[in-house]
Amino acid sequence: MKVLNLLSDKKYLSGKNLAEALSISRAAVHKQINTLKRNGYVIESSPKGYKLCAKDDVLSEQELLLAVKKPLGIFKKLLYYKKINSTQTKLKTIADAVAREGVIVCADVQTGGYGRMKREWSSSNGGLWFSMLLKPALRPDEVSKLALIISLALNRVFKQKYGVKTNIKWPNDILFKGRKASGILVDMSAEQDIVNWVVAGIGINVNNVLPKELKNISVSLGEILNKFVGRAQLLAQFLCVFDEIYAAFKKSGFKIFVKEYNDNIVFINESIKIDTGFDIIEGVNLGIDGDGKLILKTPKGLEKITAGTVVKGK
């Protein structure tokens, strides 16, 4: 909103001055002020006018655009909800009607958030919960690579932007000292060899208070840094990094990222177990290949795993 760009935390601006600056009526100014308040902005009103007091960690398209500071191919529109069942479910319901990729759905709270295998994902206030629409020119069997490059983007953000040494647990969890800081879920609509759309859901523990039962296995970025972390800034950082990675992926394929992925994967050259949903496979983790498959050295030889859950071995 244009009013937001004019408001200051240093001084009051009258409704008359705002109306004249924007060439709108004072009633229109009042309407925009009320909308900003509903979206989480703390604005003080007095006979002197309006003053921006606090943003209250607002997740809005305006804040995201201010934080990004440059056009991104991967970001076209942000749909924000204070509370929603699931950003993933919401975006999937509108994906067919959206012509281009780049729509993002985010929420302060998810009441029905879920991860891989439909596992419940705790999504309380203070975390960054969002889904983004992608329309890549890929075969359906290549879509799993998107989760891998998203995890690379998240890992880069944690390390390069926040100085936090994280690692990737194949295929798409971000860990800090063995505790989960972020997870990724990828859903798609496809027909034989054509992908109609991909919806990538991402959950990042930021400032949210983790349930007691998750404290030993999960961690938030705010807890790691021992300070408050702005979610709009974090989302902007991710989108800028992912925009670059995604462009390179579309141009050159996944193989250019294999070394970086293997340099950051956990349990490399260690014994692990993989639960494929049908079987438990044990072996030494040799990292991923150019197709994103995990290579295990087993007593029977090398096995390449397409999907599964990694469990540390003995």
The token pair at 8 is 């200051």
String of DSSP letters for 191-239: ETTEEEEEEEEEEE-SSPPPPGGGTTTB--HHHHHTS---HHHHHHHHH
Pairing of strands 294-298, 280-288: antiparallel
Decide if 135 contacts 100 (C-beta within 8 A).
yes
Vertex 142: Cα angle to 140 and 147 (nearest 5): 110
CA distance 131 to 158: 19
Residue with tokens 């072996």: 283
237 in a known ligand binding site? no
Beta bridge partners of 184: 202
293 in a known ligand binding site? no
Instruction: Mark 111-145 as b/e (b = at least 16 C-beta within 10 Å).
Output: eebbbbeeeebbbbebbbbbbbbbebebebeebbb
Other beta carbons within 10 angstroms of residue 101's beta carbon come to 18
- Please write down the long-range contacts of 64-73, taking CB distance under 8 Å and 24 or more positions apart: 64/232, 64/235, 64/236, 64/239, 66/232, 67/232, 67/233, 67/235, 67/236, 67/237, 68/236, 68/239, 68/240, 70/240, 72/102, 72/239, 72/240, 72/243, 73/102, 73/243, 73/246, 73/247
Residue with tokens 């208070």: 209
The token pair at 78 is 């942000």
Binding-site entries = 110, 180
Binding-site entries for biotin = 110, 180
